[in-house]
Amino acid sequence: MSNEPSQRDIDTQIAEQAGRTGLDHPSRDYPAYRSSLLRYPTQALTVIRDPEAVELTGPVFGVTDVTELDHDLTQGGFAEPGGQRITVTGVVKDRQSKPVRGQLVEIWQANAAGRYAHQRDQHPAPLDPNFTGFGRCLTDDEGRYEFTTIRPGAYPWRNHRNAWRPAHIHFSLFGTAFAQRMVTQMYFPGDPLFPYDPILQSVTDPAARERLVATYEHDLSVPEWSLGYRWDIVLDGPAATLFEEDGR
């Protein structure tokens, strides 16, 4: 008999988590997300007393490190990558709804077939030699960011039987220091896999969960080129975008 949880087990765990009202952030040992049992900290977090010392062990980014082509994930190959070209744009705001200028925004994602350009991804879907799935940009004076990319495909992730992740793009924001880095995910509207995804469903507040879903805006679509999606990011306050860590 397999020890792998059934879909009924997953549905039960999701329902139980949904009953914990008032929790934007799921518990770190959320049972329906199996790998969280191996990832979450079991000891008290260490207080960082010298953030500059932490940054010495990590990358250091500057304005000159980001080039004009870094925001366009469809460029840089020998040919056009496969899939539907999209534009993703939005504004990064603080808790007073003021724009956050000069913010480093990074994204990474699967290709149109639902496969990452990473050696650990052995999903039997085709790799795209013209798509790395990684991009970055700096927000402008009005806090705006913009990426041109390919709409990612869904992919299996072996969390439970017949488990598939909805199409999504990972976002990383670095704040004003490397130790402030925050990571989240953007989803696409109307995805039929939403009810079956323990990661998304672990966000128990429906309003917070909705803030992780981009909006299709036809005026952002470029004629004969790309479909347009808007996804604003709020770093703090009651309308904050959900991040993977409690600190924002």
Give this prediction's pTM: 0.82
Residue 246 binned pLDDT confidence (cut-offs 50, 70, 90)? very low
Distance CA 172, CA 61 (A): 13
Region of residue 185 (phi > 0: left; psi between -120 and 50: alpha; otherwise: beta): beta
For residue 21, pLDDT beyond 50: no
Mean pLDDT within 33-45: 73
Distance CA 43, CA 41 (A): 6
Task: Give bridge partners of residue 13 from the DSSP assignment.
Answer: none
Distance CA 158, CA 111 (A): 19
Distance CA 7, CA 5 (A): 7
Q: What is the pLDDT of residues 178-197, one digit of tens each?
A: 667 889 999 999 999 999 99
Q: What is the pLDDT of residues 69-87, one digit of tens each?
A: 899 999 988 999 999 999 9
Q: How far are the Cα atoms of 26, 36, 39, 135, 154 from residue 121, in angstroms, in the given order?
A: 26, 18, 19, 19, 13
pLDDT at position 205, please?
87
For residue 248, pLDDT beyond 50: no
Q: Annotated catalytic sites, by residue?
A: 116, 155, 165, 168, 170
Region of residue 49 (phi > 0: left; psi between -120 and 50: alpha; otherwise: beta): alpha
Residue 219 binned pLDDT confidence (cut-offs 50, 70, 90)? very high
Q: What is the pLDDT of residues 95-119, one digit of tens each?
A: 888 999 999 999 999 999 999 998 8
Residue spans of alpha helices (H) in 145-223: 198-201, 206-210
3-state secondary structure of 103: coil
Mean pLDDT within 225-237: 94
**What DSSP string runs through 192-210?**
TTGGG-HHHHT---HHHHH
The tokens describing 53, both together, are 């010392």
For residue 24, pLDDT beyond 90: no
For residue 200, pLDDT beyond 80: yes
Mean pLDDT within 31-40: 74
